[in-house]
Structure 1
Amino acid sequence: MTGLAGAKNGRTMRFSGRAALLLASVSLLPAAASAQSSAATGPRLQQASLSYSIAPGSLGSALASFGSRSNLQLLYPADITRSKRTAGVSGTMSPEEALGRLLSGTGLTYRFTTATTVTISGPAEQATVNGGQAGDSLTLAPVYVSGDQTGTGPVEGYVARVTAAGTKTDTPIIETPQAVTVVTSDQIRNQGATSISDSLAYTPSIAMQSGAFSRSVDDLTIRGFNVANGNLGSLRDGMKYQSNVYDGGQEPYGLERIDVLRGAASMLYGQLSPGGVVNAISKRPTTNPLREVNLEFGTYGRKQLSADFGGPLDDEGIFSYRLTGLVRDADNWVDNTPDDKVYIAPALTIAPDAATSLTLLSSYQHFNAGFSTPLQLDDVRTGRIPRDMFLGIDGFDRYKGDSYTIGYDFEHQFDNGLTLRNKARYFYSDVSWDYMMGNVSTLANSGGRLARLASVREEVSYGVTQDTSLEYTFDALGAEHTVLGGFDYYRRSYDSHRYRGAGVSLLDLRTGATLSNPAINYAVDRGSDTVANSYGLYLQDQIKFDDHWVLLLGGRQDWTDSTVRSYQNGRVTDQSDNALTGRAGLVYLFDNGLAPYVSIAQSFQPQAGSVTVTGNPLQPNEAVQYEAGLRYQPEGSNLLLSAAVYDLTQTNLTTTDALGNVSQFGEVRSRGVELEARAEFDNLGLIAAYSYTDARITESALASEIGQQIPLVPRNAVSLWADYKLDDLGLEGVKLGAGMRYTGSTNIFNGKTDAPSYLLVDAMASIDLGKLTQDLEGAEFKVNARNLFDKKFYTCTYSDGCRYGEPLTVTATLSYKW
């Protein structure tokens, strides 16, 4: 790395040549032998005293804790803290005094280069600077900025170093013994993603239906298993979110990042699908002023205004805020189908001192869209029904709803290495969902008519969730321990009224005219009312010893109960379950940045309301996963390479024989390989992923299902995204990007053929208008194109559950930040 990396307002800067030499010579001047005396010159920190409780142990970990608590950025060559230990610091004192005590006896020196930035160095770094020539570029060892990333904070660019999704603590990704991907807000913005599915399109082992469906709901599979609501793996800020998949998708503009943990994770989050979790992280208040407005226009009449504001509310920085929102008025490629949305998310943080913070988070979302009806395989395979044709009835079809959230996140760090966290949220959703189902029969198509059946649904759901934990860091028997213990609770309610048409309604495919109006049978309500509670106690220990080994051990006890009342027959099904799940993992950290790991993890998933043919409640699904992987992330670099292989088996699945008898000996086994690369070089950003997923049914009451691949899940998927700044080519401020997404063929139950593979190409071009003239400083113009070559494709879950894919869509965005 050439030059010295620094940070200003959370953004990385690089210097080279004379500027780097001047800065480095000031920052790394030889100092007195002791760390305490090295701070005698240079800018002074505010001397307000803070309480510190940093346990003896690894110097690198101690400095990270110090930087976070003191709101400082520590700059130092990555290797100078390796194998060094500190006696820690405890008590109330100035940040300057605390840092001096941490470095005492290490042979390292420090200097305050600004009021919030500290450079730490050793004799080798000073000699390098002193030996340089004034006109030369200055080459230093990689520099690590302590405290610049947390498990819930923003990440500049594409390469995250820290996540909380895999441990519920801020943990380096390279020390996490399970596959993790962090999709940053920069990636979401650069790729023009407008849904969770769009945001995860370049993530390995993720499969989803086409945008005709997934633009409205967050319905995904990970490693072959569905992740669609809170109890399956859809999270927000580390807690379960929607009570059902149709509560309305999360708005990506309101997110700081999306952390995807792949594989069984019940030890952390309770009842889940074994595929993993998608943890969306809300944008939070910032102490640095933030002002952004975006105006967007696009194909199909898309018009959108979005804005993001944040910053301190007082001079002391005790109060800070964030206000994020958007308004969209749009259609989509299907005629007579809106894509309108209103989203607003106010947030407030109260931080009376460096050890205590309370963040209030809230949101409101209104959506008005049309639900894309599934079609018969032959209808999409032959193309006899055009992909832009509206198959509903004007004034009848709708997918409209409102959702609200309000919650908080509290944290307090005590003086003895103990941290208390408590967070909670209330979620409410009210959705009206009426549409004409077009997959009823293909018989009417021969005469140019489509048989449809009306569906009317009114759905109300809510979720109450809380998580309270204690984290304790300490040294014992030559190892560093991070122990986490906690209790979480989730109560969900899903009240759904469902009615069907009394008979089919015919649509003339040649004229678009409805030949017979639907008659709704309101006498039969096919819905149900579900109320369920989940309680969990968990305990985890992350043990780091010899500065190279990381051992993770964890266990959890869950209790669940549910009551399901059927509106159709009045039957009430009560069910109670409990489960003990665990996880263990081991990582070895080589000095060169390589980190192999192995792990085993379990999951369980109750089946509320489901009963056998004798009326007995079903036992929970259970799963176990074995995983081995290898990561490569040199310290101080913007490079992360990951590889994983896994074997994941879920048992106790419901299976129905040819006579309709329900039993519970079904089994699905998923085995696969995942490769991922994320990198940022001088002007180049790169994201690449490959996944091989062999997810098949291994046990079933129907012999015809055994050995079949899970529908929608391709065995092979490849994605590649790259963007490049053209500054070195004389086009300062111009950036070009392009991506490709290949999805292999997928199995269709009861289908005559597989859904074919497809290759989609995306593109982006942006220009920083401030580079053209200072009058436009802070302004950017960007164009995104998805499915650039207008590839026609479709996705299917069953032979009567196929939907067309999204055609070419183009959006142009004018942004202004000040």
Structure 2
Amino acid sequence: MSTSRRRLCRPARRPLPLALALFVGSLHVAGGLLPSAAMAQASAATFRFDIPAGPLAAALNQAGATAGVLLSFDPALVADLRTAGLQGSHGFEDALRRLLQGTGLAPAARGDGSYTLRKLPATTNAAEVPTLPMVKVTADLDDRAESATGRVEGYLARRAVSATKTDTSLLETPRSVTVVTADQIADRGALNVEQAVAYTAGVQVAAWGNDPRFDQITVRGFDVTTTADYRDGLRQANTGWLSYFRTEPYGLERLELLKGPNSVLFGQISPGGLINRVSKRPTRETLREVEVRYGSDDHYQAQGDFGGALTDNGEWTYRLTALARDSESDTVGVNDDSLYFAPALTWQPSDRTRITLLGHAQHFETAGSPRPFQLPSGELSKVWAGDVDFDGLKQTQYVAGYEAEHRFDDVFTLRQNLRYGHVDTDNQYTSGTLDADGDTIQRSTFGVYENMHNFSVDTALQSRFSTGPLQHTLITGVDHADLDGDIRYLSGAAPSISLSNPDHHQTIARPTTLLVHQDVSGTQTGVYAMDQVRWGDWRLSAGLRRDRAEQTQKDLIAGTSSGQTDKATTGSIGLLYMLTPDLAPYVSYATSFSPQFGTNILGDAFRPTEGKQVEGGIKYQPAGRSMLLTASVFHLVQQNALTRDPDNINNQIQTGETRSRGIELEANARLFKRLELIGAYTLQDVEVTRSNDGNQGKRPVGIPRQMASLWGKYSFIGGLDVGVGARWIGETYSDGQNTGTNSGYTLIDARVGYDLGSLLRGATVAVRANNLTDKEYLMCHDGYCYRGRGRFVMASLNYRW
């Protein structure tokens, strides 16, 4: 049979760009065909398929390679045809039938165990048309199409993008990745990202108590608030002290947590990992939702989410998400007010091209310094020493960008993500000391005024091809970021306040004494490549990156300027084996870097901190069930941390090192079709292994050794659902010498919901409670103590139509 009329399961080789050839040349293997008997045996076996929606030809190639079965077909038969994809365990012939559904084609077996395709007869006679047995589709089947950025029904996501920058199965990703879906966020009523990720293994939140100004999140013992804040795959950098991009969980489709270093794809990053916030995107299905909420501490909130097609053919689709909140808290003066508006528009003129515009505007207000006044004894009083009319953080941010994708053919797809963001922040607060009379607090004022501009762009070429029996998904790209910020720090005078009878409404002038005025700017450019290789049951991912980061800091008061340039090479490699279609052990190694601004006493620029991690684990995802169980062990080291010079107290040297090693267990499952469960346990040994600051051999302040959590929601017949969760944070140290401790604590969360369908179709009511038992707990850090938020109860009415 002419080769010009047939296509094997491996796409025909074609010239590759030089970059691709250099990267995969060493892996090029001349592949042979399986003996006929082996093919016959393989075609009768069950295989786990992970085929995304897309061109039919590419999907058939991947199916044949996964099963090791020869599949030949006429390319003209499948030209311009697409498939919804396929996930789960199936026999090879059944997999082909599912991929070919609706195409007018059917698989045809040959006597030697190989397969070809044939056209179905063009007839309406049911007796002449081959039919498939009826398949009962349930919510637990793996076959439902899912993407790494789209809607997920329930708590379990099967795919993610943050570990590879491609839409990849979690089961087949050789890294520890957790996805928090929109349904999880909604069921627990999360008001911020902290609350949304609180039930995740390896994650600690609220280590500095109730402070709505920014998220407080550590992963595997390392802070990820400032250096690992990502949205839609692009970094949300900050140049100042308080100009962090804020995130409303209601505006997200999901949160993806990648644990451990991943500079190979994202550049500057915390060794603990990253949190990728995935925005809600336009949908072709009509979506209409409004919700109102009322809660304790005068909490009022209204939100809405709308989407659908703007044209009959679905070429234009939209999404509009909005939120308004006016809320106090259980600490006087600490509010949590927000206005959020996020439009999105997608243009998809063909199945090859898609452009999505994403943007949002937000105004947020809270207290300038939410910590209650601390007495000279170290005890935290019940009194807030601020002023309602003066104190406050007011932040406005605007973000706009796009995601563009064009598929040239079955091999090459080009993507570009671009975003511009602007943040304005005014933060005013008072600070005071107690007089000898034990009642009068003498106060001063401080103001931090910042504005920041942030531009990021990431361009990547995805290539799918084969070298012998090896299937490759290769990502090669370049990303660039520019940021610029202006920071002013001022002080002034303020009237005193009584500890026993505080007046929180006094006339206080804006501070006028300029203490700091800086202009901070920086750029980062990185070139990267990552190859995901499939060979039978083996999955290999390997990547390499080169970065150049520049920083400049101008002291506008002194008229001086300083700058530095850092270069870094990072990489990662992971290997996973599909022991069965449901069970996959893996190992990985990854590195990270994060620049440090400044110089030592000799004027030499500080080198970036470096992270290195070795991780191993196993994942279990039984076919046909909504379940993913993960166990991982890790050894993570951060080097080049600044520490005191033993020979010169005025100098710092980079010999500091922190090590984190531990075990994480995580479960996400739907049991008995009505019970959703999320469980996590963390055992982490975090230690300062090198330091001249007197804390060598000690555990870092505020980092627990153990954490555990469990959340479950049961949906009863008749529309009632009940959810209960518990989070336990173990004991932590309150100082670097490990002489003082913060007691461990357990927080209980709960919800009760009811479907009002019998009264109003599409309406549901719910009552949620955080810290249900009103547990009081303190977190002290080197003499400064912070109180956690007390009980918060909220009722909601949701209506969808």
TM-score tier (shorter) = 0.7 to 0.9
1:60–1:82 Cα contact (<8 Å) kept: no
Indicate the residue corresponding to 1:778 in structure 2: 762
CA contact (8 A) 1:462 1:492 kept: yes
| Equivalences for residues 678-693 of structure 1 within 5 A | 678-681=668-671, 682-693=673-684
Matched, 1:763 2:753: no
Cα–Cα, structure 1 residues 444 and 295, in superposed 2: closer, same or farther, change >3 Å?
same
Q: 1:182 aligns with which of 179, 195, 198?
A: 179
- Is 1:498 the equivalent of 2:489? yes
Q: Following superposition of structure 1 onto structure 2, how do residues 121-160 of structure 1 map, counting pairs within 5 Å?
A: 126=133, 143-145=141-143, 148-160=145-157
**Consecutive unaligned residues in structure 2, runs of 5 or more:** 1-53, 72-76, 122-129
Trace 1:294-313 onto structure 2 (pairs within 5 A): 294-313=291-310
Query: Structure 1: how far apart are the matches of 2:60 and 2:274?
Result: 32
Inter-CA distance 205–167: structure 2 relative to 1 (3 Å threshold): same
Please give the alpha-carbon distance, in whole angstroms, between the structure 1 residues aligned to 2:505 and 2:750: 43
Give 1:156 deviation, angstroms. 1.0
Aligned counterpart in structure 1 of residue 92 of structure 2, from 81, 84, 92? 81
Any idea what SS the aligned residue of 1:705 has?
A: coil
Deviation at residue 178 of structure 1 after TM alignment: 1.2
Q: 2: CA distance between counterparts of 1:95 and 1:408?
A: 33
The correspondence for 1:239, drawn from 217, 234, 240, is 234
Q: Deviations over 1:767-795 (max 9, x none)?
A: 0100xx1x401000011000000000122
> Which residue of 611, 628, 637 corresponds with 1:649?
637
Work out the CA distance in 2 between the residues paired with 1:141 and 1:590: 26
- The two structures have a TM-score, normalised by structure 1, of 0.82
Further displaced range: 752-761 or 459-468: 752-761
Where 2:189 maps in the other structure, the secondary structure is coil
Query: Per-residue deviation at 1:371?
Result: 3.1
1:336/1:287 CA distance change after superposition, 3 Å: same
Task: Give the drift of 1:513.
Answer: 4.0
Deviations, residues 220-241 of structure 1 (Å, cap 9, x unaligned): 2111111123xx1100001101
Partner of 2:39: none
Q: Name the residue aligned to 1:754.
A: 741
Distance 1:705 1:208 in 2: 23
Of 390, 394, 400, the match for 1:406: 400
What corresponds to 1:562 in structure 2?
A: 551
SS in 2 for 1:267: helix
Paired AA for residue 719 in structure 2: G
- Deviation track 1:241-268 (CA, whole Å, cap 9, x = no partner) reads 1425533520000000000000011001
Contact 2:492 2:513 in 1 (8 A): no
Once the two structures are TM-superposed, the CA of residue 95 in structure 1 deviates from its matched residue by: 6.5
Of the structure 1 ranges 412-421 and 95-104, higher mean CA displacement relative to structure 2 is found in 95-104
Is the contact between residue 89 and residue 581 of structure 2 (CA under 8 Å) also seen in structure 1? no
After superposition, what is the alpha-carbon deviation per residue over 1:142-173, rounded to whole angstroms, capped at 9, x for unaligned? 84315x21111121111111000110001111
Q: 1:270 to 1:82 in 2, by over 3 A?
A: farther
Aligned counterpart in structure 2 of residue 788 of structure 1, from 772, 777, 780: 772
Partner of 1:805: 788
CA offset at residue 664 of structure 1?
1.4
SS at match of 1:189: helix
Aligned to 1:530: 520
State the match for 1:421 in structure 2. 415
Matched, 1:508 2:498: yes
**Change over 3 Å in CA distance of 1:519–1:346 after alignment to 2:** closer
**Matching residue of 1:617:** 605
- Would the aligned equivalents of 1:508 and 1:514 in 2 still touch at CA under 8 Å? no
The alignment covers a number of residue pairs equal to 722
SS in 2 for 1:526: strand
Q: Are the counterparts in 2 of residues 370 and 398 from structure 1 also a CA contact under 8 Å?
A: yes
Taking a change above 3 Å as real, the CA distance of residues 79 and 430 of structure 1, as seen in their structure-2 partners, is same
**1:201 aligned onto 2:184:** no
8 Å Cα contact 1:218-1:250 kept in structure 2: no
Residue 41 of structure 1 corresponds to which residue in structure 2? none
Give, in whole Å, the separation in 2 of the partners of 1:336 and 1:598: 49
Partner of 1:8: none
Q: Is the 8 A contact 2:105 2:120 kept in 1?
A: no
Contact 2:108–2:115 (Cα < 8 Å) also in 1? no
Counterpart of 2:727, as a letter, is R
Query: Which of 749-758 and 150-159 deviates more?
Result: 749-758
SS in 2 for 1:58: helix
Report what 2:798 is aligned to: 815
CA contact (8 A) 2:108 2:117 kept: no
d(CA) in 2 for partners of 1:223, 1:190: 26
Contact 1:257 1:282 survives alignment (8 Å): yes
Distance 1:692 1:276, change over 3 A: same
Length-normalised TM-score, structure 2: 0.84
One-letter identity of the residue aligned with 1:79: H
Measure, in 2, the Cα distance between the counterparts of 1:98 and 1:574.
63
Please say if residues 141 and 626 of structure 2, whose CA atoms lie closer than 8 Å, have aligned partners that are also in contact: no
Aligned to 1:340: 337
Which deviations, in whole Å up to 9, do the C-alpha atoms of 1:95-129 show, x marking residues without a partner?
615776999954899999xxxxxxxxx99x95xx7
- Shift of the 489–478 alpha-carbon distance from structure 1 to 2, 3 Å rule, reads same
For the residues of structure 1 that align with 2:359 and 2:533, how far apart are their CA atoms? 36
Q: Which residue of 2 aligns with 1:32?
A: none
Q: What amino acid is aligned across from residue 508 of structure 1 in structure 2?
A: S
Sort the Cα spacing of 1:105 and 1:352 in 2 relative to 1 into closer, same or farther, 3 A: farther
Cα distance in 2, alignment partners of residues 627 and 405 from structure 1: 36
Find the residue that maps to 1:615 and give its secondary structure.
Answer: coil
Following superposition, the deviation at residue 213 of structure 1 comes to 4.4
Aligned-partner SS, 1:56:
helix
Match of 1:724 among 714, 736, 753: 714
Residue 550 of structure 1 aligns with which residue? Answer: 539
Aligned residue runs from structure 1 range 436-475, under 5 A? 436-437=430-431, 444=435, 447-450=438-441, 452-475=443-466
| Residue of structure 2 equivalent to 1:604 | 593
- The 3-state SS of whatever aligns with 2:772 is coil
Alpha-carbon distance in structure 2 between the residues aligned to 1:111 and 1:207: 57
AA at the equivalent of 1:700? S
Task: Sort the Cα spacing of 1:98 and 1:153 in 2 relative to 1 into closer, same or farther, 3 A.
Answer: farther
Is this contact kept in 1: 2:243–2:424, CA < 8 A?
A: no
How far residue 406 of structure 1 moved from its aligned partner, in angstroms, is 0.3
1:588 aligns with 2:577: yes
| Letter paired with 1:237 | D
Aligned counterpart in structure 1 of residue 700 of structure 2, from 705, 710, 716: 710
Change (3 A) 1:140 1:167: closer
The RMSD of aligned alpha carbons is: 3.4
Distance 2:666 2:456 in 1: 33
